Amino acid sequence: MINFDTQFTNILDKYNKIENSLNTMDNSNSENLIKLNREYAELKPIVDKIEEYRKEQQEILNLGELIKDSDQEIIKIAEKELIEKKNIIKLLENELLRLLLPKDLNDSKNSILEIRAGTGGDEASLFASDLLSMYQKYADLNSWNFEILSISETGLKGVKEVICNISGNNVFAKLKYESGVHRVQRIPTTESNGRVHTSAATVAVLPEAEEIDIDIQEKDLRIDVFRSSGPGGQSVNTTDSAVRITHIPSGIVVSQQDEKSQHKNKAKAMKILRSRLLDNEIQLKNKERSENRKTQVGSGDRSERIRTYNFPQGRVSDHRINLTLYNLSEILAGKIEDLINPLIAEEESKKLADMQNE
């Protein structure tokens, strides 16, 4: 069982140190100030709950003394209150357990969303376009900012590949469960015999890395500039504005050509590169901590088939938690909380079980 006292002492010490630092630090160090404010905001609800818990504990001790009183009426009142207080303590312990669950340090980050058409030809690219629309609408519902960094489209309003930047409150915490293979079963518009075809698209959700998260050395980069080959207007196609960045140690290559400015394309490419490098680090750590991976729901394996969208039956099935819903049209309209919340709850319950067994 968890030693609450040790946990509480460590949390309160950290909270007080951060508070003192915020009161005394030089505001010129903006990056450190932002980091400390974020940590302070994350600890505040835990500290408030600890104070509430300790207050109830003290009241239980006081009631314990009243039970020793010689007045039977006082004893009865104290015993009744003691039962109520013990029930409150149990509820507070459960709330504290959830607050003390190991946090994914990337949960508060913005995200890079990558969608690629998989097997299925034109139908796969149309499905990738549907997924792009779904996530755009979900971002709108959450008041997140949704920016397409690069996109490769087909002539049928499909999408071969799209990379987006989504910024807002706890973006990665919600979207990280979307990484994997999404499968669609439906009758294509070109199918004359009414047969259901199966196609797929892959989704990767990466935490957006800041410069302080990933240190990239200039000597590790090869930067090539070239003329944009896609649509975009006269100036895009007649100047060397496109940028290709190769990270030599990892072999990761990122190309950007959507902007008319070479500088803007380089900035976007670096943003994607940092996020892919951070994601590589996360995947390596997950593999090293194989026991932890057992407690994770959808740990980011890009080859894992996570979900099926069946149009004839109007259903969506998430294979990780055996969840099936019959509201496909609502989900494609961006209302995917009914899929995401059960995944969050499942991971929380597994982590809680592990904590209680320690």
- Mean pLDDT, residues 10-24 taken together: 90
Instruction: Give tens-digit pLDDT for 218-236.
Output: 888 888 888 776 544 444 4
Q: Does domain 218-285 fall into CATH 3.30.160.20? A: yes
User: What is the predicted pLDDT for the residue at 235?
Assistant: 43
Q: Does domain 111-212+298-357 fall into CATH 3.30.70.1660? A: yes
Q: Which helix (H) or strand (E) holds 199?
A: strand 197-207
Distance CA 61, CA 358 (A): 28
Domain range annotation of the chain: 4-99, 111-212+298-357, 218-285
Q: Is the pLDDT of residue 348 over 90?
A: no
Distance CA 358, CA 274 (A): 36
Record the pTM: 0.72
Answer whether 187's CB lies under 8 Å from 196's CB.
yes
Instruction: Give tens-digit pLDDT for 144-171.
Output: 999 999 899 987 889 999 999 999 988 9
The two structure tokens encoding residue 34: 């932002």
Distance CA 313, CA 327 (A): 10
pLDDT band at residue 212 under the 50/70/90 scheme: low
Instruction: Give tens-digit pLDDT for 300-335.
Output: 455 679 999 999 999 999 999 999 999 999 999 999
Domains 111-212+298-357 and 218-285 alike in fold: no
Instruction: Give tens-digit pLDDT for 272-281.
Output: 888 888 888 8
Residue 265: Cβ within 10 Å count: 24
Distance CA 13, CA 58 (A): 21
Q: In what order do the strands lie in the sheet with 252-256?
A: 221-226, 242-247, 252-256
